[in-house]
Amino acid sequence: MLWFFFGAPESAGYRAYERANALFAQQKFDQSLTAIEEALRLDPKLVPALTLKAKLAMSINRFDVARQSLEQALAADPKAQYAQFLYGLEAYLTNDMQAALPRFRKAVQLNRSDARATLYLGLTTESLGEAAEALKLYEEAVRLEKLAGRPQAETLLPGGRLLLLLGRLDDSERWLQQALALAPQTRDPHFEMARLLLRKGEAERSAAEAETALKLSGGITTDAQVHYLLIRAWQQSGMPERAEQHAEALRALESMKK
């Protein structure tokens, strides 16, 4: 029965979708959108194209368009895991935690190896006040990434932060050390380590770590956050002049925004 070995006929819009995907990767978003629209004109239920359209819409904060596209994609294929994950992300990014929770849960069920879905389920759970459950999810996300041979600093940081919040400083340090080892040239791990060190009373080491963070980029930590940490770290190190420099820098940042 040879026909078993033939896949479903390729969608009419698939070529256009592939073109759109390549353009998206090159950050040629307008052209990507045109190609997506062509793909969907040819096949309105083409799940990869609908998913890509959602991704593009989210990148420009058009969450309404993203939600519609994802709902169409999931109607066409309820097991489209990536679409399901993005569906959860849409809710998470618009602060609709009630909607995000079941969506991420489903994404995890569809692919239990997806560390990213597990991570975001953890972030949503933490937002809803379930710290212990969130920590378990963060641990699972890290485990999955290690199993896949692709550990990421971004996956370690939420757990590191939560452990710091819970006062589990040694555990937090272990997570943050791993994050630092994976991304030594990225700001976030250095900032979080600086926070931890300040909490442990190691002000000078904290200041050094934060000064490093200030020189780096990458992640979600803003210059203002680092400056604020440095104000306190230098104060506690007995160097008020350096602290004042960072206070002035922070105020200057605010003036620039006005």
Partner 1 sequence: MTRVLTGIALALIWVNRIGAGASAPSAPIRFEEVAGKAGLHFTLRNAASGKFHQIELTGGGVAVLDYNGDGCTDIFFTNGAAIPSLSKTGPEFHNRLFRNNCDMTFTDVTEQAGLSGEGYSMAVAVADFDNDGREDIFVTGVKQNTLYRNLGNGRFENITVKAGLAGGDAKYGRMWSVSAGWFDYDNDGWLDLFVSNYVVWDATTEPRCGSPEQQFYCHPSVYQGLPGQLFHNNRDGTFTDVSRSSGIAGHIGKGMGVAFADMDGDGLTDIFVANDSVRSFLFHNLGGGQFKEVGLEAGVALREDGYAIAGMGGDFRDFDNDGKPDLIISGILNDSFQLFRNPGGGHPFEDFGQRAGLLMATRQFTGWSLGMYDFDNDGWKDIFFGLSHLAELDRYLGRPSALPNHIFRNVDGKRFEDISATAGSDFQQAAMHRGVAFADFDNDGRMDAVVSVLNGPAKLFHNVSANSSHWLGIRLHGRQSNREGLGATVHVHLPDGRDLYNHATTAVGYASSSEAIVRFGLGASKTAETLEIHWPGGVAQTLSGVRGDRIVDVTEGLPK
Check: CB of residue 237 under 8 Å from CB of residue 198.
no
Q: H-type helices in 6-110, by residue range?
A: 14-25, 29-42, 47-59, 63-76, 81-93, 97-110
Would you count residue 224 as binding partner 1 (CB under 8 A)? yes
Would you count residue 242 as binding partner 1 (CB under 8 A)? no
Name the segment binding partner 1 (CB under 8 A); options: 7-15, 134-142, 144-152, 220-228.
220-228
The single-letter code of the amino acid at 231 is: I
Would you count residue 94 as binding partner 1 (CB under 8 A)? yes
Task: Give residue for tokens 């026909």.
Answer: 3
Q: How far is the CB of 246 from partner 1 (least distance, A)?
A: 8
Count, residues in the chain:
258
Q: What is the DSSP string of 20-46?
A: HHHHHHTT-HHHHHHHHHHHHHH-TT-
Q: How far is the CB of 22 from partner 1 (least distance, A)?
A: 30
Number of helical H runs and strand E runs in the chain: 14, 0
- Minimum CB distance to partner 1 smaller for 59 or for 98: 98
Would you count residue 11 as binding partner 1 (CB under 8 A)? no
Would you count residue 238 as binding partner 1 (CB under 8 A)? no
Would you count residue 150 as binding partner 1 (CB under 8 A)? no
SS3 content of the chain, % helix, strand, coil (to 5): 75, 0, 20
Would you count residue 16 as binding partner 1 (CB under 8 A)? no
- Contacts with partner 1 by CB under 8 A lie at 63-64, 94-99, 101, 127-129, 131, 161, 165-167, 195, 199, 221-222, 224-229, 231-232, 235, 243-244, 247, 250-251, 258
